[in-house]
Structure 1
Amino acid sequence: MTTPLAEKIRTFIRANGPISVTDYFALCLADPEHGYYKTREPFGAAGDFTTAPEISQLFGEMVGIFLVQAWTAHGAPSEFHLAEIGPGRGTMMADILRVIKKLSPDMFEAAQIHLIETSERLRKVQAQTLVADKWKISWHDGFDGVPEGPLFVVANELFDAIPIRQFVKTPTGFRERMVGLDADDNLTFAVGMAGVDPGLLPGPPGHQPMGAIAEFAPARLAVMQALCQRLLEGGGSALIVDYGHVASGYGDTLQAIRAHQFDPPLAHPGEADLTSHVDFEALARIAHLSGLHVNGVMHQGDFLAGLGIYERAEALSRGKESLAAEEIAIAVDRLAGAGAGKMGELFKVLAVSSSHVELEPFIARRSQPDAEAGAPTDD
């Protein structure tokens, strides 16, 4: 089976030679004719994957609680911007705003809401989801459209969809991984001529076997750098949630998801979501070097538990029929639990701030004797 985008890529490779993983990644997601995000509805049971806000309202509520305390810790500015980058169907922002209205009406009044979204189709969905608060919302194609001033940013499953470069260890050093054609005209991975600056490798390469993969994400780091600069200029905090690893390391994390199942990355270009794991150590390093305060990095399960998801779930279940209460418990376990099919350990949370503000649950994490700088002791 082939796809329209696969045919387009084959034609290009026949004429020009292999393309980099970076270019393949970008084409799969954003090709104007056949790109995944240009042609499909990816979210929910009918799509290819389900994000945390779609699993339960509790996820967005915990993020809302975090934002209320962050706003307070920054001096409760009387005017500020609340932005979400890649807001999906608007589900999380709706849950966030509901919490803010309840816990801090003054914060809600002070907020101007900004959604960073390039898809006109998703903008329409978001406008329907957030119709009650549409008067406070502005949409932007890019982050630079958000006006100056104090800023609080949320990015859930954003960085995993930003293309990466991959390098393969060969007898002549690490060379860029490419996508070419095999003898049967099928897409296949190949090795190019371009090398990599040894300083960009995640560790000493000497003990790595032939074929080992090193991933580098300059586009992700550029987005993080822009975000940090914006926080430095106007003040505020950012919360980044994604699946990935706390410490930089070697390994091939390029993956495709199709109909809620893993799919070979080269099998269905344009018809499967293509992602890779986020290097949270690299993001935190950019924030630190930019002069921001890194509140910490932790597992999503610890983050949600520290903000009270279990207590909130118990309150939400009170008075409900057993089936409804069980559904809430299952959703919480999926969001915060450990093990296959659960997000509590696989997903990580990074918080950074323009000044040294103390924010839960990162304060509690740092107070544990086996924790360093808010980061988990394992991955």
Structure 2
Amino acid sequence: MARANAAYYARGTFTRDFVTAPELTQVFGELLGAWAKIVWQMLGAPEDVLLVEAGPGRGVLMADAQRVWNAPSVHFIETSPALRAEQAKRVPQAKWHDSLDSIPPGPMILLANEFLDALPVRQFVRGQAGWMERYVQDGEYVDLPTDYPLPDDPVGSVREVNEAALEFCRKLAARGAVGLFIDYGPMHSAPGESVQAIRNGEYADPLRHPGEADLTAHVDFGAIKAVVHVQGPVKQNAFLTALGLYQRSDVLAQRHPDKAADLKLAVHRLTAPEAMGSLFKAIVVCPESLPGLPGFA
């Protein structure tokens, strides 16, 4: 999954397969920019603060966020040359990094929308004799015995473990950063198979066309809560509503009546339970000393 997704995002053509929240409406990025500015103020407004985005796509979210808060130092965690070129068109002052490890020291506020779901998961299947780990060999699944510690689920159950996501969150916590993640998955840890592929805008077989499909898996928010201090998770519709999604969208609709219908549709997609509103969650990795943050208080 890791190598296939790296190849897929390196192509820089993923926007034809799916649309993320920042692409739906400028309000999404503006709200996150306002959120980051308030958090910065709660941290004491340090002059050397770093505003970081992981998995910034085409740079739309950060460009919108910068209209609300022109942070002094902007950094992107991005490995794709094609996407870096797109991001540079919108946020030319940014600095680019291959990983969290090369972000310079200092107070950090990190934004990440649909980032954790693209990180590779390990998948386990409960057989009659115990847990088996699922691998891919010659284009097919192969299940091999494992001693990885997992709950005593019924035979046939599937568990997914995203070690890369947990390690990323641990590193954020270790440096005392504040990291906002918006992604999709259940509120609590539970068994279930969620790995999926999207190719040319449609669901596809995850084992076919490696490097040509977007591979994702639901984020285990309960697992994140178990390893670092967090606020949340909360449903995306509750989070965005608390930040003023409806009010900001109404203001834009009044200023640009020709875009009112599109704005209304975007708000519906972001908040409706049957769309993104309930499936997507917001969670913050942060120091225990911080009081309730906007959208989580």
TM range (shorter): over 0.9
Residue of 81, 86, 98 corresponding to 1:125: 86
Write the distance in 1 (CA, Å) between the matches of 2:12 and 2:296: 37
1:78 Cα deviation from its structure 2 partner: 2.2
For the structure 1 residues 220 and 320, does the alpha-carbon distance in structure 2 shift closer, same or farther, using more than 3 Å as the test? closer
Q: CA deviation at 1:157?
A: 1.1
Q: Which residue among 223, 229, 253 is the counterpart of 2:174? A: 229
Match of 1:306 among 242, 248, 254: 242
Structure 2: distance between partners of 1:67 and 1:40: 27
Deviation at 1:240, TM superposition (A): 0.7
Runs of 4+ in 1 over 6 A off after TM superposition: none
- Mapped pair 1:217 → 2:162: yes
After TM superposition, give the deviation of residue 72 of structure 1 in Å.
1.1
Query: Does the CA contact (< 8 Å) of 1:73 and 1:358 recur in 2?
Result: no
- Checking the alignment, whether the CA contact within 8 Å between 1:176 and 1:195 is kept in structure 2 is no
Distance apart, 1:195 and its partner CA: 3.5
CA contact (8 A) 1:284 1:350 kept: no
| Distance apart, 1:331 and its partner CA | 0.6
CA deviation profile, 1:318-346 (whole Å, cap 9, x unmatched): 1433x52111000111112210xx21111
Give the corresponding residue for 1:42.
Answer: 14
Say if 2:130 and 2:145, in contact at 8 Å, map to a contact too: no
- Flag structure 2 segments of 5+ consecutive residues without an equivalent: none
Question: What residue in structure 2 maps to residue 368 of structure 1?
Answer: none
Instruction: Confirm whether residue 79 of structure 1 aligns to residue 40 of structure 2.
Output: no
Instruction: Confirm whether residue 283 of structure 1 aligns to residue 228 of structure 2.
Output: no
Alignment match, 1:6 = none
Whichever of the two has the greater Rg, that structure is: 1
Superposition TM-score, scaled by structure 1 size: 0.75
The answer to whether structure 1 residue 196 and structure 2 residue 157 are counterparts is no
Q: TM-score by structure 2 length?
A: 0.95
Change (3 A) 1:212 1:272: same
Matched residue of 2:69: which SS?
A: helix
- Quote the offset at 1:224 in angstroms: 1.3
SS at 1:249 equivalent: coil
Q: Secondary structure at the match of 1:358?
A: coil
Offset of residue 177 of structure 1: 1.2
Q: Secondary structure, in 3 states, of the residue corresponding to 1:115?
A: strand
Query: Aligned pairs, how many?
Result: 296
Task: Look up the match of 1:167.
Answer: 124
2:228 aligned counterpart, secondary structure: helix
- Gap regions ≥5 residues in structure 1: 1-24, 102-107, 182-186, 289-293, 364-379
Q: How does 1:340-351 map to 2 (within 5 A)?
A: 342-351=275-284
Change (3 A) 1:129 1:319: closer
The letter of the residue matching 1:64 is: G
Determine which of 251, 262, 287 is the counterpart of 1:327: 262
- State the identity as a percent: 40
Three-state SS of the structure 1 residue aligned to 2:198 is: strand
Residue 165 of structure 2 aligns with an amino acid whose one-letter code is: R
Aligned to 2:184, what secondary structure does the other structure show? Answer: strand
Shift of 1:173: 0.3
Q: 1:369 matched to which residue of 2?
A: none
CA deviation after TM superposition for structure 1 residue 40, in Å: 4.5
Aligned partners of 2:31 and 2:245 also within 8 Å: yes
Counterpart Cα distance in 1 of 2:47 and 2:255: 38
Determine the C-alpha separation between the residues in 2 that align with 1:349 and 1:155.
10
Report 1:171-182 matches (<5 A): 171-180=128-137
Q: 2:200 aligns with which of 259, 263, 272?
A: 259
Amino acid at match of 1:360: P
Match of 2:58 in 1: 89
Among 65, 77, 83, which residue is 1:116 paired with? 77
Q: CA RMSD in A?
A: 1.5
Distance 2:209 2:23 in 1: 25
Q: Is 1:241 aligned with 2:193?
A: no
Deviation by residue 1:103-138 (Cα, 9 ceiling, x = unmatched): xxxxx3xx211111111111111111124xx2xx21
CA distance in 2, matches of 1:308, 1:193: 50
2:286 to 349, 353, 360: 353
1:245 is displaced (CA, Å) by: 1.5
Q: How far apart are the structure 2 equivalents of 1:320 and 1:37?
A: 34
- 2:105 is aligned with 1:148: yes
Deviation at 1:61, TM superposition (A): 1.0
Partner AA of 2:134 in structure 1: R
